[in-house]
Structure formats: C-alpha cells, structure tokens
Structure 1
C-alpha cells in the first residue's frame, strides 16, 4: 500500500521548469556537452559567441540550459544570467593544466557571486580521453574545490567525463549521472530555490533599469559638458554656434529590450512584404505560380502568420539583451573617450 501511495504521489508531481547555466573557459567543451545531452553529435563545433539556448525534457523537469561563451570578452555578461539559474554546470578542460589556475579564478568569482552562492554546482572534468588528463582528485586539488564550495555553501559533485565520446542518443555516462544528480538536488529544495530565483530576478530587473538610467544620465552629462565647452570656444573665437537640438529632444541610446525586439520584428515584416510583392509581380508578368524561397534557413509560406512561441520570444529576448549590453558598453566607452580627449 505504501509503495502504491508513493507511486501515485510521484505521478501527481507537477512538471517543474528549471534553468541551468553551463559555464567554463573557452575550449573547455561546453557546447559538445550540450550537444551530447541533446542526443546530437558533438563533432564539428564552433566556439560559442555570446550564448546558445537549449530546451529539453528530463523526467519531471522542463530544462532550459544556457551555454554561455567562455572567452574573456564575453564572461562579463555571465552575471546577467545568474539570477534565473537554479544550478550551475561548470565544465573544466582537465587536459589543459596550464589554464587550471585561470579556471580556478573564474570559478571562484562565479561561486562567490551573491546570486550563485548556495546553489548546487556540477563540475565536469572533461576531456578525460586525452593523454595527460588529470584524475578527479587532482582536479579537485588544483581548483581547491572542496574549500571553495564549503565557503560558498554550494552542494557540489564532480564527474570525470569525455563529452566527445557521446554519440547520438548515447550520452557519456558520467555526464548523464551528473545531470541526474543536479536535477535531483534541485528537486529536493525546489520551493526554496524557486522563491529565490523569482526574488533575484525581480531585483536584477530593477537594478538593470537603475543602471540604465545612470548610464544615460552620465552620457548626457558628458555630452552637455562637451557642448558647453564648444560654445565657449566658439564665443571666444567669434565663430557662429552650430544649431542645437531643441531641449528635451534626445534619443535614448539605451533602448528597452522590447523595443529592440519590436524593431527586429518590423524589419522582418517589411522584408516579407517586399519579397511577397516581388513574387506577385513575377506571377502577373509570366503567369507562373512561383514557389516561396528560403531565406536565412526559414521557409516562407503564404499561410497566416503564426505568433512566436514562448521559447522564441525568450530566445529573441536573450539575443537582444546580449547585443544591447555589448552596444551599451561600446557606446558608453566611446562617449567617455571622446569627452576625455576633448579636455
């Protein structure tokens, strides 16, 4: 009877949605690991620029994995994904001893972050198939892993693995074992983790809005100072002052994510209209029914437009966020450099 009740309880458990972050240095094998988890071949991969998103079903979990690029220039955006993560998969190249110190520094920075500390961490000591790859105990020693996870109260498991050995639906066993451990650990503390994720996500959104306003104010101040200096120089030299924009009319260079997505959607809509008009013109001239062509890997049809799915909206949001962050940093830095050079 007890076994029957236990089975019914498990059957009634709701499907839980979790987000996992996959991080590590460039060339650690993160994307190959994700491909293996998906049941795809891990061969012929290019380095991840920015991030890639994977959705999969694992037992009672709907899992979203964000594979974040590991290059030095892209690591700065990792923190923008910390709030919504329930757990972390940190991939280590166990065959590259020369970069283990750098790996240790990056891992320390990640696990000490307030929005990661206390969350479960799966460490994959990857590339065990290569000659000279360190054993599990040596990786733990090089990374001071035991001390690091204890300091930050992170439950942790390390699995020596070889992502490249995954073939189709046959996932490397240590990776599968590690993923099952991570999800079962999250399940045991799901309510508390979910509450924390919701709270952190709300706080991060408010923080990002505040930082955006501060950047806009800083750029406006620098622009005003530069224009004031130009006016003073023009007055001293007796030159006419160039026409200025009316006060209060200033385009905000830091557009909301929704505006960026809407702008991209509008561009795509106009492209479709121009393409459709071109096809209709050819049909009228030649009396031939033209087949729709493929652009950017998407087959266009004349059926009614279907609204984007939730996954597509989230993917567009993340892509736009990454692009916006890079554009904001570049725009902000150019304005500051310009102001400094004029002093």
Structure 2
C-alpha cells in the first residue's frame, strides 16, 4: 500500500522542478517539452531518446542537465566502427603483474550521453542494452553494477540515414520516452542567434543532489492512481496491439469506435506491458508537476505520445498512406472512453 504524500513534499519537489527549469532556460532557449520530458524521466528513473535534426540543442540540453543535476557525466560518440568494449570496458593485460585488469568504459557514469546512437552496429547496441535494462555490465566473466542513479540520454538524427542502423525493438522498449524536438519559433531563434553559439559557456548552478533526487522519486512513488486510471492505461496500451481484436475486448474496455477507425490496421506490433508501467510512471510525475497527489486522465493523455510513439511498429500501409505513430496515438486518445 502506498504511503500518503504530504503537501510539504509536493511543494518541495515543485520548487526543485521550478529552479531546474529556470537554470536550464539560461542555456536552452524554448524546447519546453524536451526540457520537461528529460526532467520527468530523470525523476522517474528512465532513459530518454531525443530525436531531431542537427542544431536543435539536443547535446546542449543533455550537458546542461548534467550540470544542473550534479551527476557524473560521460559522453559516447557512436560511430559505425565503435566496439562493445568502447562502451562497457575491457580487460587489459599487465605484463608486469602477469594479470588482466579491468578498464571500465564510459558507461560507468550516472548520466550517459549516447550521441547519434543509431550509428553503432548491433554488437554495440547489445552491450548498451544490458546496461539500460539491468543496470549492469559484464566484462570478461565478471558482472559489475552501474552507478545509482543510472540515466541514458540518447540522440538520433531522423533525416540522414546513410551509415545508420535501426535500433532493436528490445532496446527501444527500454527507453521510458521518445522526445521529438521541433524548430524554435522566430522569437526564440532571435535569442539563439544573439547568443552567438556561446550558450554552453553560461554558468548554471547545481539543483539536485543524490538526496534531493531520491526525495522526488519517493514522492512520485507515493502519488496515487485509482483502479479506473489503471484500466484506462491498460485499454490505451491494449488497443495498439492488432491481436487484441481476437480477444474479449469488452473486458478491456476498448471502444468499438477505436476498432472501427483503422488504427490497428496500420500497426504490425503494439506496445508491451512495459509501456503501461511507463505510462503510469510518467503520469505520476505529470501529476506531481501539477502539484497533485493523485493521477487524472489528463496526466495520462499528456504523456501518452512521448511514451508510446517509439513502441509501435507500423506496417507498409501506414508508410504508404503517410500515417505516423503520433497520429495513431492521438486518435486512440480521442476515441478512448475517459473514466
């Protein structure tokens, strides 16, 4: 049974969030959705995939969060010739002692930037998958635990596909959310141009510590969600699965309107139960950001696209008709009965 969160805890977390937004805004102009998404994932304890064309401050946002959070930060530039040992580490033979010593890789940090993650081949992705999924790394015959907290922020370019590899579905499913960065408004771009590319030199102060981050995570765990909210989340996730048509949909509260709108017609594989867990986590953080101790359907709706867009495998017909995951998720949210 969840403990009852106090008003003081909510206010304390809200103050951390407010200060964090202010500090990040000193360097990163606009991109409020990306900033809130990264902050939510940091508190929820999940990994984030950032997608956007070059020049939208993806790397700057990650570096800024590293400075604001006070976490140990490492960057890995993913390239086609990268090896698993370049990420996780390797055994080095020492002739003097006649023994092998462990040299830990850059993944041994609290916050890891996996820059252009889709440029690395499958072997490297497998090494990173173990770290993301199990918070541990195997070097030789020994398994080493990663630091706590452990947080991967990965970036990828959606335009240039030459020399890139599609991320495995199992790895994509380990990302709590996928955030798509958009172009800034003209007013925001004026501020960006005015900075003359020196935004990274602007000092920011450390907001979080290990204790304060743990306080926020404990508060999120104490945010309550009614059984109707849980059923709402399961219904949203379930309708993304084409095989759900074969089940007793009445038991899962799936709207007939959803099934008749060809949503499942465009999906080859839907979201796993891990998506439901991620939806609940993010909805709890959203409620906490709003100063509430309980989850509303609006919280689930606000985070649904970020949580589900990378978990849907669309078929050829979706590509042919120009239908994307975001559009399908929006349809599901519009047509799904709200508790």
Q: Compute the TM-score of the two structures, normalised by the length of structure 2.
A: 0.28
Structure with more contact order per residue of length (Cα contacts < 8 Å, sep ≥ 6)? 2
Higher helix share: 1
Q: Which has the larger radius of gyration?
A: 1
